Copies of this chain bind each other. A is one copy, B any other.
Amino acid sequence: MKHAPLIQIDLSSHVPAYEQIAAEIRALLVSGELAPADALPTVRQLAADLNVHHNTVAQAYRILAEEGWLDLRRGRGARVVPRSRPAPPGDKGRRTFTLQLKRLLAKAAAEGISPRLIARQLALQAHDVRNWTKGDS
């Protein structure tokens, strides 16, 4: 099967490329669009697509491997592996999430996105979240 760009990153952003790559792939993993046994592009392949160095992609893969999503083997490539749901985080983890969410919304508003649009987007995403792991294609 031929992949569409698979993921997309913004090289002009201040957030590190390897982190963006990991975040994008993580989103696909969480939503189920990438399922166990699926093969990921090789580090050099994806690096060429994104115009970064293959070591940058390798660093992203390593992060996901440490989180338990991937199995990396030299010479063979990267595959998605089954992963048990991690222990729910404590108050601190949940509060950090809320904090980052608030900051993101405030920034969006400051850039001119209307509260109405923001609220609508939140509702949309909430809907998607409820369908995670149910509807993997």
Contact = CB atoms under 8 A, between A and B. Distances in A.
B101 A121 contact: yes
A23 interface: yes
Report copies per complex. Answer: 2
A75 interface: no
A92 to B, nearest CB: 10
Interface in A105-125: 105-119, 121-123, 125
Contacts of A11: none
Main secondary structure of the interface of A (DSSP, over half): helix
A76 interface: no
A135 to B, nearest CB: 13
A4 interface: no
A26 B114 CA distance: 15
Nearest to A132: B115
Interface in A81-132: 85-89, 93-94, 96-98, 100-119, 121-123, 125-126, 129-130, 132
A30 interface: yes
B125 A101 contact: yes
A112 B85 contact: yes
